Amino acid sequence: MTTFTDPQAVAPAETRAGGSGRVPEQRKRTFGQWFRHKGWRHVVGVVTTLFAVFPLLYVLSAALNSNGTMAGSNVLFSRFDTGNFEALFSNPSRPFGRWFMNTMIIGVVTSAATVFLGALAAYAFSRMRFKGRRVSLLSLLILQMFPQLLAVVAIFLLLNAITDVVPWLGLGSQLGLIMVYLGGALGVNTYLMYGFFNTVPKSLDEAARIDGASHVQVFFTIILPLVTPILAVVGLLAFIGLSSEFVIASVVLTDPDSQTLAVGLYSYVAQQRSENWGVFAAGAVLAAVPVMALFLFLQKYITTGLVSGSVKG
């Protein structure tokens, strides 16, 4: 992953001349050129960001207003205090800190396992030819289309049965919940990776095999490093999905100490007419922090791209 430059980005700067650049490091350009190349991207960025963020500002505003309701006011940030955040951390029967840790553990373990299981399957689909390959791929996708309206009942029954045999994997167990989540590890994720794996030239593995590498070594040492962007994307998608999932989690986890953020926070608003939106909003804001942190951390992997040298290999 050495430095790599986007020809699109560099070429115009090198080939075009003249103009008093608005951007210091690209002096040679006119504003028009700068705009055609980069400026419009900023316009798009700002507009889309506004679209994405303005409803969330509402939530943030509610989080910072300790006598707040959710929908009442159009004046954002009319009050500014941290009462809701204090309330969030001062309730022993609603251990927010524990919820946070639980979510992190369940989220990280599950998304890591999801990425691994998905990558294994994608490797098989991408690199091996076997009977029923296309049918299996199709089935993976189609299985995930079943309306989940009834899933929780069946999952409860299943875990109930598991509890009778292996209590630490059944109801009330975080490990049990992780297993349930892993049921969805293939499907779309495998597809996403499969498409990406296909772009890694076969010649690479063939060369390695000639050199005596086993299929396992090829997988771990050649393929996986080349597909980090998609691994990062799948991991992030899985983590985001898990961190806001509460329907299954609330059936599986009953002890407040073992619950996840989504389940715990939901209890703040589950009670009709005594919802505590302010505290909920504060919790939701904090809950978004790990997702942002993870995205920041993964961003460099997502956008690293393939090293041209390897691709040509």
Partner 1 sequence: MKVRSNQPTRRHALITGVMSVAVLALTACGGGAAESPSAGSSSAAPNLAEGGATTLTMWVDAERAPALEEITRSFKEDTGIEVKLAVKDFAAVRDDFITQVPTGKGPDLIVGPHDWLGTFVQNGVVAPVELGDKASEFQESAVQAMTYDGNVYGVPYALENIALLRNTDLVPEAAATFDEVIANGEAAVAAGDATYPFLVGMDPKQGDPYHLYPLQTSMGVPVFGQNEDGSYNADELLLGEPNGVEFAKKLVEWGDTGSKVINSNITGDIAKEKFNAGESPYFLTGPWNVPDAQAAGLNLAVDKLPTVGDQDAQPFIGVNGFFISSKSANALAANEFAVNYLSTEAAQDAMYDVGGRPPALKASFDKAASDPIVAAFGEIGANGVPMPALPEMQAVWADWGGTELALIKGSGDPAAAWTTMVSNIEAKIAEQ
Partner 2 sequence: MLTSAPPGPAATRPPQKTAARSDSTLGLLAKIVLLGLVDAFAVYVLITLFLQEKWVILLVGAAVTVLINWIYLRRGGLPAKYLAPGIFFLVVFQVFVMIYSGYVAFTNYGDGHNSTKADAVNAIQLSAQQRVPDSPAYRVSVLEADGDFHLLATDPDGGVSVGTTGVPLEEADDAVTDGTGKGVELEGYRTLQFGEVLANQADILAITVPFSDDPEDGSLKTSDGSNAYVYRPSLSYDETTSTFTDLETGTTYADTGEGSFRSAEGEQLSTGWKINVGFDNFVKAFTDPNIRGPLVQVVLWTFTFAIVSVLSTFALGLFLANAFNLPDLRGKRIYRILMILPYAFPAFLAGLVWSGLLNPEFGFVNNTFFGGADIPWLTDPLLAKVSVLVVNLWLGFPYMFLVCTGALQSLPEEVTEAARMDGATAWRTFTAIKLPLLLVSVAPLLIASFAFNFNNFNVIYMLTDGGPRFDGTTANIGHTDILITMVYEIAFGTGVGRDYGLASALSIIIFIIVAVISAISFRQTKALEDIN
Contact residues: partner 1, CB under 8 A: 67, 69-73, 91, 93-94, 149-157, 160-161, 163-164, 171, 247, 250-251, 254-256, 263, 266-274, 277
User: 88, 171, 223, 230: which one contacts partner 2 (CB under 8 A)?
Assistant: 230
Nearest-Å Rg of the Cα atoms of the chain is 25
User: 87, 88, 106, 155: which one contacts partner 2 (CB under 8 A)?
Assistant: 155
- Judged by beta carbon distances under 5 to 8 A according to partner kind, the member of partner 1, partner 2, none in contact with residue 163 is partner 1
Q: How far is the CB of 132 from partner 2 (least distance, A)?
A: 3
DSSP string, 85-118: HHHHHS-TTS-HHHHHHHHHHHHHHHHHHHHHHH
Let me know: does 106 contact 174? Beta carbons within 8 Å. Answer: yes
- Judged by beta carbon distances under 5 to 8 A according to partner kind, the member of partner 2, partner 1, none in contact with residue 166 is partner 2
Minimum CB distance to partner 1 smaller for 71 or for 292: 71
Minimum CB distance to partner 1 smaller for 117 or for 247: 247
User: 135, 255, 271, 274: which one contacts partner 2 (CB under 8 A)?
Assistant: 135
CA 233 to chain centre: 7
- Judged by beta carbon distances under 5 to 8 A according to partner kind, the member of partner 2, partner 1, none in contact with residue 251 is partner 1
Minimum CB distance to partner 1 smaller for 106 or for 263: 263
- Judged by beta carbon distances under 5 to 8 A according to partner kind, the member of partner 2, partner 1, none in contact with residue 307 is none
Minimum CB distance to partner 1 smaller for 266 or for 295: 266
Give phi and psi for 212, each to the nearest 5.
100, 10
- Residues between 77 and 116 that touch partner 2 (CB under 8 A): none
Determine the Cα angle at 102 with ends 99 and 108, to 5°. 135
Minimum CB distance to partner 1 smaller for 78 or for 139: 78
Is the C-alpha dihedral spanning 12, 18, 20, 24 positive or negative?
Answer: positive
- Cα–Cα dist 33/115, whole Å: 42
Q: What is the b/e burial string over 83-122, where b = at least 16 CB atoms within 10 angstroms of the residue's CB?
A: bbbebbeeeeebbbebbbebbbebbbbbbebbbeebbebb
- What character string, x for contact with partner 2 (CB under 8 A) and - otherwise, covers 35-74? ---x-xxx-xx--xx-xxxxxx-xx----------xxx-x
Q: How far is the CB of 74 from partner 1 (least distance, A)?
A: 11
- Cα–Cα dist 263/255, whole Å: 11
